[in-house]
Amino acid sequence: MYLLVLLLPFINAFFLGFFGRLVGTTGSGILSTICMGSSTLIALFLAYEVLVNDAVVHIELYKWIESEIFITHIGLLYDTLSVTMLLVISSISTLVHIYSTSYMSEDPHVPRFLCYLSLFTFLMMVLVTSDNYLQLFIGWEGVGICSYLLVAFWTTRIQANKAAIKAIVVNRVGDVGVILGMVLTYQTIGSLDFWTFNGGSFGSGIMDRGYSGEGGPYESPLAPFAIIGILLLIGCIGKSAQLGLHTWLPDAMEGPTPVSALIHAATMVTAGVFLMIRSFPLFERAPLTLLIITIFGALTAFFAATVGLVQNDLKKVIAYSTCSQLGYMVLIIGIEGSHNVGLFHLVNHAFFKALLFLSAGSVIHSLTIDEQDMRKMGGLIHSIPFTYTMMLIGSFSIMGLPYLTGFYSKDLILELTYSGRNAGDPPFRPLGPPQLYIQTDPKDPDLKLLELAGFPSRGSAFAFWLGTVAALLTAFYSIRLVYITFIISPNSPKESLISSHINIVDKRVLTVLSLLCFGAIFVGYLIQDILIGDIEHPIVPPFIKVMPTLMGLFGMGLCLWAQKGTRGGILRIPAPLGSSFLLPIYSFLGGAWQGDHLINKLVAIPLFSFGHWGIYKTLDRGWLELFGPQGISTIATGVSQFISNLQSGVISRYALVLLSFTIIFLALGAGAP
């Protein structure tokens, strides 16, 4: 059973890859539904055994690499983290497969598409069930390759090909960080197996004793763990689209909509967050790294929310919302003792984000021209009311309105961030009513510190306020999406609104959206005790507790006021502000803070220039050829030409050569002892 849950997606991918043409579109859909559905059922049994019964299963399959003291096995680890991820991956992937049989029904290459989806699912399952970093890296690279294949699935679209290349190149930057992190982890701990730092041997062994290398012990035994944490964070920044390496994520919308749903909800972008949660025992030994993680997550949540305000592409608005929600997940990992809440939000996010993307796909397919620009939609509430309902529920859930799935994790993240401490801050007594007290610095007993219990440290305070503002912006762009797409007067051509299938909802689509809608409403409530049962809600001032909800309601009201009476999604701008003030801001946000421009100017173009002139022209075609093949051939040609010139046929020259060599030999012989 533990092997079958992984093998079923692989079997489906293998069969469709080699025999997909034989079974055709219908057969491929049936086979995919059976294999992926069976995998989901098995994942439910595993969830009962591991999550409910609180068990951990470790299966060692066979020895993989044995080189002196380096020994690595192929093994599977089923604990709370891996089984939770497995359940999310299998369930969302099954629904995406079923949805794809309807969405891609007119595409001639459905078997190949479903093959890629199943392979994507299999490799993500390999990633989350691995018991060591090296095996995890196979899945890590595999999902990157599959994302390239799926984003560029429509190979005749130039933008899709460019987006796929951009995604895989940007992710290579993060992959370098993961590779270096693995190398340093092995050098520091002596193993790449997760049990070495999740078990007792890690806490009571190497890390408490410190690390001593060939050059003697480090000045601080925690120094290597800070470097490891930063390197693994770089991997997360690339894979989970955090600020700096986020540019590939919006462009990945060029692929089919089911691909977007799978990448954003259950696979590609969640891999980085999973890696950080799995590696948290390493991070907690590096306080500075945890502070950096908190700041990066907060900045990403705020940045993506601001950019989502002005996007007009339906799928790109949802893509930037993914980037923002990933920022929340990363943010909470940096707060001491709260990394499980990041997993909780990841699970909740999977359901309402899949609902939003698949609802967007339903909207796009409802128009005859497959339009994605929201400004050319409008009035669809009367044509596709079911899709409107699904989109509205998904938007309310991502806003974190009370008693929807997003509410249980998003509000908890902000509460823990407000009251939490970054690892490395001076410890203080359990939270209670805010009050001043005197604390002794453990590093300097003579130094007395005034601490205010119940109030956040500097890092968590910064993250809390950015996260709160991001919650307001999330509500604004979520309601803007629904309002412009469904409620305002139609802006699309009449022909696009009289499609023969605009009022028809396929039964497969209806079933998938209904199940995701159930998840977007109830999953947060149902699983909170399983995933975060040991985390108590912090005691915070009442105003702070309700602030995220108030911000969401305020953002929703502000959006409705700004959009009222407008056409085409143009915001109402008060006269005192004027276009001279808001237009530069709109342009700045519309250009995603000029991220692509800055990366091109500061990184891409200099590196390409250095690669061409510095490496290719100067080194490869210059020094290496001069002292390598070209130099050797030139010297050999010159020597051979000199020797051949000696064969001139002139007797006097021959006599001169013989006399010269005779004198040389006599001189050498006379100088010998």
Average pLDDT of each block of 10 consecutive residues along the chain (673 residues)? 92 94 91 95 93 88 84 90 94 95 90 95 95 93 94 92 92 93 90 75 38 39 81 93 90 91 92 93 86 92 93 92 94 86 94 94 80 83 90 94 92 88 43 40 43 52 91 94 87 59 71 95 91 77 89 91 64 54 81 85 86 83 78 83 76 81 80 57
Q: Phi and psi at residue 451, in whole multiples of 5°?
A: -115, 150
Give the separation between CA 467 and CA 304, rounded to whole angstroms: 11
pTM of the model: 0.85
Angle between helix 542-563 and helix 385-399 axes, rounded to 10 deg: 140
Amino acid (one-letter) located at 84: T
Distance between CA 73 and CA 71 in Å, rounded? 7
158 CB neighbour count, 10 Å cutoff: 9
Q: Which residues of 98-115 are buried (b: 16+ CB within 10 A; e: fewer)?
A: bbbbbbbeeeebbbbbbb
> Which DSSP symbol is given to 485?
I
Tokens standing for residue 122: 């299999």
Helices (H), 190-251: 195-198, 200-201, 207-209, 223-239, 248-251
The set of residues, in sequence order, having a beta carbon less than 8 Å from that of 145 and lying 6+ positions away, is 168
**276: its two tokens:** 């950080």
- In this predicted structure, what is the pLDDT of residue 260? 92
354's CB contacts (< 8 A; 6+ apart) are: 92, 95, 96, 261, 264, 265, 266, 516
Kindly give the residue spans of alpha helices, DSSP state H, lying in 400-457.
405-419
**What is the β-pairing status of strands 57-67 and 435-441?**
unpaired
Element (H, E) at 119: helix 110-129
Give residues with Cβ within 8 angstroms of 434, minimum separation 6: 452, 453, 454, 455, 541
CA distance 12 to 28: 9
For residue 508, count other CB atoms closer than 10 A to its CB: 18
Q: Give residue for tokens 């369930």.
A: 91
3-state SS assignment for residue 132: strand
Q: Using alpha carbons, list the distances in angstroms from residue 600 to 167, 265, 390.
A: 15, 29, 39
Over its C-alpha atoms, the chain yields an Rg (Å, rounded) of 31
* 482 Cβ contact partners less than 8 Å away, ≥ 6 residues apart: 388, 391, 392, 395
Q: Name 574's Cβ contacts closer than 8 Å, sequence gap at least 6.
A: none
- CA end-to-end span of the chain, whole Å? 85
What pLDDT was estimated at residue 439? 44
Query: How far apart, in whole angstroms, are the C-alpha atoms of residue 98 and residue 516?
Result: 13
Please return the burial class of 668, using the count of CB atoms within 10 Å of its CB with bins 0-12, 13-18 and 19+.
Answer: exposed
User: Residue 230 has what DSSP assignment?
Assistant: H
- 63 near 114, Cβ under 8 Å? no
